[in-house]
């Protein structure tokens, strides 16, 4: 997954946030049609038994400086599925203790060849739907200023056959909207991560609309939209 999220001010994104039990979230959402890696985005996490919507830097690893925090030189807006069970990897502890959901309308992908972009695509949920990305977060405390900062990443999976013509390297983890699964995902006390292994294979739990665009900053469609059908749902 490339570092672009579509968190448009969409009533169905808000509906997803409400369904996840966040109280009075509207004034807290960081809306934006084009959210880049290292931007501040909104995540849902469970804290002290409550589901809350909070700001997080979309870059899991942060470095401290005198004024506060900055993104690490190590790329970490995504966390690969095959690193989640590797001790000492950046995602190992968060996968067990600090999972989050990133609500969005869609995401963007760029396909590269010889390190040069060959096309850009935007993908979105259907008009009356939203996407719940499976993410990880970390909480940071600055020893001098006392600032507390959250950071996050999106978990990425191997490429999906239905999406290979769009992006051949990876796809984001899109969580199925099953209440029990989402509750377990957000619960920091739930550490039986073996029960999440079925999520770490390519799967589309919902339909998507994909279309080529001219460039991410403009996101003008330059081709017809394509509906990509959901896979058969898994338990």
- The vertex-102 CA angle with 163 and 202, nearest 5°, equals 30
Residue ranges per domain, the chain?
4-228
Describe the chain by its helix, strand, coil percentages, rounded to 5: 15, 40, 45
pLDDT value at residue 234: 60
CATH 3.20.20.140 for domain 4-228, yes or no, is: no
* pLDDT of res. 2: 79
pLDDT at residue number 55: 96
Q: Please list the rounded mean pLDDT of every run of 10 residues in the chain (235 residues).
A: 91 94 80 96 95 96 93 97 97 98 98 94 97 98 94 98 96 97 97 97 98 95 97 74
Q: What is the pLDDT of residue 67?
A: 86
What is the structure's pLDDT at 124? 98
d(CA 5, CA 158): 19
The residue length of the chain stands at: 235
């Amino acid at each position: 997954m490339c570092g672009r999220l579509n968190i448009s001010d969409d009533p169905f994104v808000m509906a997803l946030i409400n369904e996840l039990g966040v109280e009075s979230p509207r004034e807290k959402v960081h809306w934006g049609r084009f959210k880049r890696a290292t931007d501040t985005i909104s995540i849902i996490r469970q804290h002290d038994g409550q589901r809350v919507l909070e700001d997080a830097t979309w870059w899991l690893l942060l470095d401290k400086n005198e004024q506060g925090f900055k993104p690490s030189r190590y790329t970490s807006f995504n966390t690969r599925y095959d690193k989640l069970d590797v001790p000492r990897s950046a995602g190992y502890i968060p996968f067990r203790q600090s999972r989050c959901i990133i609500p969005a309308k869609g995401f963007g992908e760029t396909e590269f060849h010889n390190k040069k972009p060959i096309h850009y695509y935007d993908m979105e949920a259907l008009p009356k739907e939203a996407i719940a990305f499976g993410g990880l977060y970390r909480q940071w405390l600055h020893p001098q200023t006392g600032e507390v900062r959250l950071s996050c990443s999106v978990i990425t999976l191997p490429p999906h056959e239905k999406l290979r013509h769009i992006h051949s390297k990876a796809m984001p983890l899109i969580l199925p909207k099953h209440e029990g699964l989402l509750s377990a995902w957000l619960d920091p006390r739930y550490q039986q991560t073996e029960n999440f292994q079925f999520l770490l294979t390519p799967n589309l739990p919902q339909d998507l609309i994909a279309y080529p665009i001219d460039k991410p900053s403009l996101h003008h469609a330059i081709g017809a939209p394509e509906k990509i059908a959901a896979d058969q749902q898994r338990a």
